[in-house]
């Protein structure tokens, strides 16, 4: 207990200086300082350098291992980034084949035009006296638009009225016949003639007997006989005149009088028509699209229609009736169009507000412009709508042809022509594109229907490696209902 208690009390013993010196010598060079002289010396022991070599080798091995690890990690990361970049490049250059429902449409451009555009002009040349409308006014059928000067026709109308009155009076006279007073006078004359005939006949009878008895000479008897014959003729004449007056005028005279009345009426009606023509009225309801003349201008007749917006000096105003759409459909698509078919119009002025329309008629004759054959299709527009459609507006017409359920679609830009046929470039595992022939159908927007040759989920190239990206123009096809291996499709 005693020594141990002493050790515990005293604490840990101090190490000898020699051991400390050896320990310092192992860790490195020793520096000994002579405090009295101020000089110092360095003691180096050879066994200390030999002891450091294993530690340096271990540190170098550890550093090499770390560098190798970092190199391996870098190589893996580089390979991973390269694979990702290649995958991203494939995704940029290809698209997957998909299935979805589509609505097949035939697209065509067109313009809005009036159904009946006309230039309004007078029938006779003259000076414009009044103009009652302005450009943009909506007018009703029969509404008065303008009035021409008619002062030179007023005198002609008065003269025609006088001629008609004279002809009608003459006809009335002939139809009514002779006056009763004239008939009574003729009757009295006939009665007087008969009375005179009775007296003359009695004298003639007596003279005849005396002549036969030789008591009367020839001369006196002949005078009596002549007087008797004259009395007979007078009776016949007065009786005929009486009968003529009682019968009235001849039918031919009455017919002639009627013809004269009709002629006078025609002359008056002609003058009235000329005066009426000075009142310019709207032939149908519509909108005044142009104004060509002002009050006081001299205007001449014209028959030109307002097919253009240019003014003409021979018209007063231009009137446009109801509007319609006029679309030019290509020859390969016209077989899919029929009257009554629904159409969706995208007017350039209202690109986000489609206008419903229907096919009214299809022109029976084609129009060839720059060796391109097309047919004009007239479209009926809605009478009422929120859009203010005006003549001359351009539009794109989408004719609703049909609907395809679960159609196989690829980007239109993926369709290529190679090896004498139409097909697509399929993406393969090795990365090299492979040409695959396909049969295409309808083209709807940026996508084209594929009828056979590929399956859904496959990826097709839309941008070929090392080449430019193709455009999105539709491929060719005879018709959406008559697919072929090539040709232009329906948008």
Among 407, 482, 411, 404, which Cα is nearest to 451's?
407
* pLDDT at residue number 3: 40
Lowest mean pLDDT segment, chosen from 73-87, 254-268, 473-487: 473-487
Q: What is the mean pLDDT of the chain?
A: 77
The domain boundary, picked from 351, 367, 400, lies at 400
Q: For residue range 338-394, list pLDDT tens digits in order.
A: 999 999 999 999 988 899 999 999 999 998 988 889 999 999 998 766 678 888 899
Question: Could you tell me if residue 253 is inside a domain?
Answer: yes
Question: Could you tell me if residue 431 is inside a domain?
Answer: no
Mean of pLDDT values over 22-38: 46
Residue ranges of the alpha helices (H) in 109-250? 151-176, 180-213, 218-247
Q: Same domain, yes or no, for 315 and 329?
A: no
The domain boundary, picked from 352, 369, 400, lies at 400
Q: Same domain, yes or no, for 137 and 160?
A: no
Half-sphere exposure of 454 (CA within 13 A, CB side): 32
CATH of the domain at 308: 2.40.50.100
pLDDT at 58 over 60: yes
Q: Same domain, yes or no, for 196 and 251?
A: yes
CATH of the domain at 364: 2.40.30.170
Q: Same domain, yes or no, for 305 and 395?
A: no
Q: Same domain, yes or no, for 258 and 186?
A: yes
* pLDDT at residue number 185: 81
The domain boundary, picked from 400, 435, 462, lies at 400
Question: Domain limits at 385?
Answer: 107-113+323-400
On the 0-12 / 13-18 / 19+ scale of CB atoms within 10 A, 156 is: middle
Q: Same domain, yes or no, for 255 and 328?
A: no
pLDDT at 271 over 60: yes
* pLDDT at residue number 134: 92
Question: Could you tell me if residue 6 is inside a domain?
Answer: no
* pLDDT at residue number 469: 47
Higher-pLDDT residue of 56 and 283 is 283
User: What confidence category does residue 267 fall into, taking pLDDT thresholds of 50, 70 and 90?
Assistant: very high
Distances 296 to 311, 314, 370, 388, 410 between C-alpha atoms, Å: 17, 14, 46, 34, 68
Q: Same domain, yes or no, for 172 and 262?
A: yes
Question: Any idea what DSSP says for residue 346?
Answer: E
Mean of pLDDT values over 160-166: 92
Question: Could you tell me if residue 490 is inside a domain?
Answer: no
Among 461, 477, 286, which Cα is nearest to 390's?
286
Share of the chain above pLDDT 70, in %: 75
Q: For residue range 309-349, list pLDDT tens digits in order.
A: 444 457 899 888 888 999 999 998 898 899 999 999 999 99
Q: Same domain, yes or no, for 179 and 230?
A: yes
**CA angle, 174 as apex, 168 and 175 as ends, to 5°?**
85
Lowest mean pLDDT segment, chosen from 26-30, 286-290, 312-316, 416-420: 26-30
255, 99 contact by CB (below 8 A): no
Q: Same domain, yes or no, for 391 and 330?
A: yes
* pLDDT at residue number 320: 86
pLDDT at 238 over 70: yes
Among 156, 155, 146, which Cα is nearest to 123's?
146
Higher-pLDDT residue of 301 and 364 is 364
Question: Could you tell me if residue 163 is inside a domain?
Answer: yes
Lowest mean pLDDT segment, chosen from 72-86, 219-233, 263-277: 72-86
Q: Same domain, yes or no, for 143 and 175?
A: no
User: What confidence category does residue 453 fall into, taking pLDDT thresholds of 50, 70 and 90?
Assistant: confident
Q: Same domain, yes or no, for 292 and 394?
A: no
pLDDT at 432 over 80: no
pTM > 0.85: yes or no:
no
Question: Could you tell me if residue 423 is inside a domain?
Answer: no
pLDDT at 201 over 90: no
Question: Could you tell me if residue 247 is inside a domain?
Answer: yes
Question: Could you tell me if residue 171 is inside a domain?
Answer: yes
Mean of pLDDT values over 482-490: 38
Domain count, the chain: 3
Q: Same domain, yes or no, for 300 and 362?
A: no
Residue ranges of the alpha helices (H) in 45-150? 46-93
User: What confidence category does residue 50 fall into, taking pLDDT thresholds of 50, 70 and 90?
Assistant: low
């Amino acid at each position: 207990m005693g020594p141990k208690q002493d050790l515990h009390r005293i604490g840990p013993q101090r190490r000898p200086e020699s051991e400390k010196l050896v320990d310092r010598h192992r860790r490195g060079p020793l520096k000994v300082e002579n405090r009295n002289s101020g000089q110092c010396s360095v003691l180096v022991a050879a066994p200390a350098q030999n002891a450091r070599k294993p530690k340096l080798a271990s540190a170098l091995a550890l550093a090499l291992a770390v560098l190798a690890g970092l190199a391996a990690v870098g190589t893996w990361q580089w390979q991973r980034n390269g694979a990702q970049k290649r995958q991203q490049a494939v995704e940029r250059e290809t698209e997957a084949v998909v299935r979805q429902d589509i609505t097949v449409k035939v697209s065509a451009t067109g313009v809005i035009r009036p159904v009946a555009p006309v230039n309004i002009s007078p029938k006779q040349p003259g000076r414009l006296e009044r103009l009652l409308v302005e450009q943009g006014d909506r007018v009703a059928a029969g509404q008065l638009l303008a009035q021409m000067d008619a002062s030179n026709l007023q005198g002609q109308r008065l003269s025609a009225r006088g001629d008609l009155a004279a002809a009608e009076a003459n006809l009335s006279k002939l139809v009514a016949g002779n006056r009763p007073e004239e008939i009574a006078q003729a009757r009295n004359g006939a009665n007087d003639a008969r009375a005179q005939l009775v007296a003359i006949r009695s004298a003639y009878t007596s003279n005849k007997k005396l002549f036969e008895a030789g008591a009367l000479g020839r001369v006196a008897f002949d005078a009596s006989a002549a007087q008797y014959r004259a009395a007979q003729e007078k009776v016949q004449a007065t009786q005929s005149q009486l009968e003529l007056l009682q019968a009235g005028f001849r039918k031919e005279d009455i017919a002639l009088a009627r013809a004269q009345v009709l002629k006078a009426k025609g002359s008056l009606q002609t003058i009235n028509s000329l005066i009426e023509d000075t009142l310019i009225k709207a032939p149908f309801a519509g909108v005044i699209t142009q104004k060509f003349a002002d009050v006081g201008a001299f205007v001449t007749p014209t028959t030109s229609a307002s097919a253009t917006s240019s003014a003409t000096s021979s018209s007063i105003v231009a009137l446009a009736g109801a509007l319609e759409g006029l679309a030019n459909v290509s020859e390969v698509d016209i077989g899919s169009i029929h009257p009554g078919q629904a159409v969706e119009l995208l007017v350039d002025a209202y690109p986000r507000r489609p206008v419903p329309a229907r096919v009214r008629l299809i022109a029976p004759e084609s129009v060839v412009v720059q060796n391109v054959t097309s047919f004009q299709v007239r479209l009926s527009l809605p009478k009422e709508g929120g859009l203010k459609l005006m003549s001359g507006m351009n539009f794109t017409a989408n004719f609703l042809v049909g609907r395809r359920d679960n159609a196989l679609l690829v980007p239109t830009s993926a369709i290529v022509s190679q090896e004498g046929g139409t097909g697509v470039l399929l993406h393969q595992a090795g990365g090299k594109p492979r040409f695959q022939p396909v049969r295409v159908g309808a083209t709807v927007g940026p996508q084209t229907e594929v009828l056979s040759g590929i399956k859904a989920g496959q990826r097709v190239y839309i941008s070929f490696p090392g080449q430019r990206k193709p455009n999105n123009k539709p491929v060719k096809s005879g018709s959406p209902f008559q697919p072929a291996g090539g040709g232009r499709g329906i948008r």
